[in-house]
Structures are given as structure tokens and as C-alpha cells.
Structure 1
Amino acid sequence: MKLDSIDRKLLALLQADAETQVAELAAQVGLSATPCWRRIQRLKEAGVIKRQVALVDRDKVNVGVTVFVAVRTSTHSQEWFERFRAAVGAIDEVVEFYRMSGEVDYLLRVVVPDIAAYDKVYKRLIADTQLLDVSSSFAMEELKFTTALPLSYIR
């Protein structure tokens, strides 16, 4: 799907606030409401807009501590991976999970209220799979957090 400058503007506006009314979006991108709505629907149908969610304040729901967990393993079979992925997927506190290149095999971002809660997550993580090394780093201060993706790379 080819995205033009209006699509880019719409995406930027929707990433800032997905609840913005179509009429307001249309005015900001120079369209009337119906063509603007159609563009948004086209972006959704094409999978450019995957879903719309509410961003919840972590402190207000008592998960203000962020932990980055680096995992190394000596096992790389598909069976092991499927078991590990299922174990991580069952832990709600893990909000991001990546397979990495380099010295670390997997990186997880975990949100919890405190160190004791993280210890429970850690014990669940190591209970179901064989891991070589688990290294945890607690974020001291959040300096930047955004869900908005850069749009300058759109072709």
C-alpha cells in the first residue's frame, strides 16, 4: 500500500490521540469528513493501523517499576523455544519479549510494583524452562517513552 502525505499526517495525528474526532482530523489534513474516514478505514483494512488501545498510567495501576531481563540459553531447539515462548506468554507482567542477536538470546521488559513482585515473576520464568543465564536490570528513571512510530521511513 502506497501512503501519501495525507496518510502520513493522519497516522501522526492518530498516534498522538486515536480518539480525535474524524471532523477534527479532516480539518487538520485538509479533507472533508467522509474522505478522511475512508482513508482511516483503508489504513485499518491494509493493516497499517493494527488496533486502537488505551494507554494506561503504570503508576496508577501499581506497576511503576520496569525491569529489563536479558536471557541466555544453551538450548536452541524449536521444542525448547515453543515451551519458553509459552511460559513467557503466560506471564502478564512481561509486556515486551524479543529474540535478539549478539550475546543475549532474549530480552524481556517486565512491569511490576516492586522487587518482591519481580522475584515472583523471575521464579515463574525459571520454573518452566532451562536457562543458562538470567540478568535483570531495574530502570531507575524513564527518560523517554512513546508508542508513536517514526513515519519518515514510509516509502
Structure 2
Amino acid sequence: MQPDDTDRRILRHWLAEPDLPRADLASRAGVTTATLWRRLERLREGGVIRAERAVIDWRRLGYEVEVSLRFTLDKTNPRAFDEFLDQAREVPEVVGIETFLGRVDVRLNVIARDMAHWQEIYRARILTLPHISDIEALMLVSTIKETEALPL
């Protein structure tokens, strides 16, 4: 399904103010509430809208440390990727997993309450992951831009 200009206008307003009541969203997008509902349903069915979710500020829950870990895996084992990813998914503090082509194979985004908690996670859960050839850790200092908005 290919969204049209009206769909993009709806999505643009929705991304700008996700908590906006549907009637207000319809008004801002220049459509009726019934049209809005039909179009949102069509966008869901077409896979454009994959989910509606809560965005949680981890820092407000006491997680002050965020680290991006870049892994190069020992690829002499044909199951290295699968075994690494299966075990990485089981680490509760891992909030993001991405795979790459290139020098870096996998990136994990990990959160911790403080540096002591980070050390505990790193030693007990990260270093025990299988097939690690090399690790690079990048500690987040500040987030300059963070958005889920698209150039619609």
C-alpha cells in the first residue's frame, strides 16, 4: 500500500502529537473523524502503522547509564550469530539489538542504574555471551536529537 498526501498529513500530525484525541487529529489533518478512523485502519492493515506503544524515559525509572556495545563475532562457528543473538535477547537490560554488515557484526544498547550496576551487567551477562571476538563500548554522554518522526 502506498500512502497518499492525506495519509501523510494524518501521520505527520499524529507523530507531532501522539496523545492528541482522534477528533482533534482529524480536524488538524483536514478530514472527518470517520475518514480518519478508516485511513488509520487501512494504514495498519497495510503495515505502515506497525504498532502504537508507550515510550518510556528510562532515566526517570532510575537507569542513569546507557552504553552501546559493538561486537565482532568469531564467525568460524556457523551458528555464532544465532547463538549470540539468542543469549543477548535474554539479558533484561539489553534494550536494543541491531546487526550490521561490515567490521561490526552486532550492536547492543544496554541500560544500567549506575556504574556499579553496569559493571555487574558487563561482567556477569555481557562477557559471558558466546562467540565474542572483539567488543567496543561507547558510553552515552548526551542525546542531541531523538525522534521517531519521519520526513512526511
- Structure 1 length normalisation: TM-score? 0.88
Alignment of 1:12-91 (within 5 A): 12-75=12-75, 77-91=77-91
Q: Write the deviation string for residues 79-111 of structure 1: whole angstroms up to 9, x where unpaired.
A: 222111111111122122111122211112112
Taking the aligned partners of 2:7 and 2:65, their CA distance within structure 1 comes to: 36
Taking the aligned partners of 2:150 and 2:62, their CA distance within structure 1 comes to: 26
Change (3 A) 1:121 1:147: farther
| Regions of 4+ moved over 6 Å | none
Identity, % of aligned pairs?
29
Taking the aligned partners of 2:9 and 2:77, their CA distance within structure 1 comes to: 44
Change (3 A) 1:17 1:88: farther
Taking the aligned partners of 2:19 and 2:71, their CA distance within structure 1 comes to: 38
Quote how far apart the aligned CAs of 1:69 are.
Answer: 0.5
| Cα pair 2:73 2:81 within 8 Å, conserved | no
Identify the range of structure 1 (16-25 vs 131-140) with the bigger mean alpha-carbon deviation: 16-25
Change (3 A) 1:60 1:11: same
Taking the aligned partners of 2:76 and 2:7, their CA distance within structure 1 comes to: 42
Quote how far apart the aligned CAs of 1:74 are.
Answer: 2.1
Gaps of 5+ in 2: none
Change (3 A) 1:111 1:75: same
| Cα pair 1:87 1:125 within 8 Å, conserved | no
Quote how far apart the aligned CAs of 1:127 are.
Answer: 1.3
Matched positions, count: 151
| Cα pair 2:73 2:80 within 8 Å, conserved | no
Quote how far apart the aligned CAs of 1:35 are.
Answer: 0.8
| Cα pair 1:112 1:118 within 8 Å, conserved | yes
Change (3 A) 1:100 1:61: same
2:107 corresponds to 1:107: yes
Gaps of 5+ in 1: none
Q: SS of 1:127's equivalent? A: coil
Please tell me the residue identity of whatever aligns with 1:74: D
| Cα pair 1:65 1:112 within 8 Å, conserved | yes
Change (3 A) 1:102 1:128: closer
1:122 matched residue in structure 2 = 122
Taking the aligned partners of 1:66 and 1:128, their CA distance within structure 2 comes to: 19
Q: Write the deviation string for residues 112-136 of structure 1: whole angstroms up to 9, x where unpaired.
A: 2222222232231221302111111
Identify the range of structure 1 (48-57 vs 117-126) with the bigger mean alpha-carbon deviation: 117-126
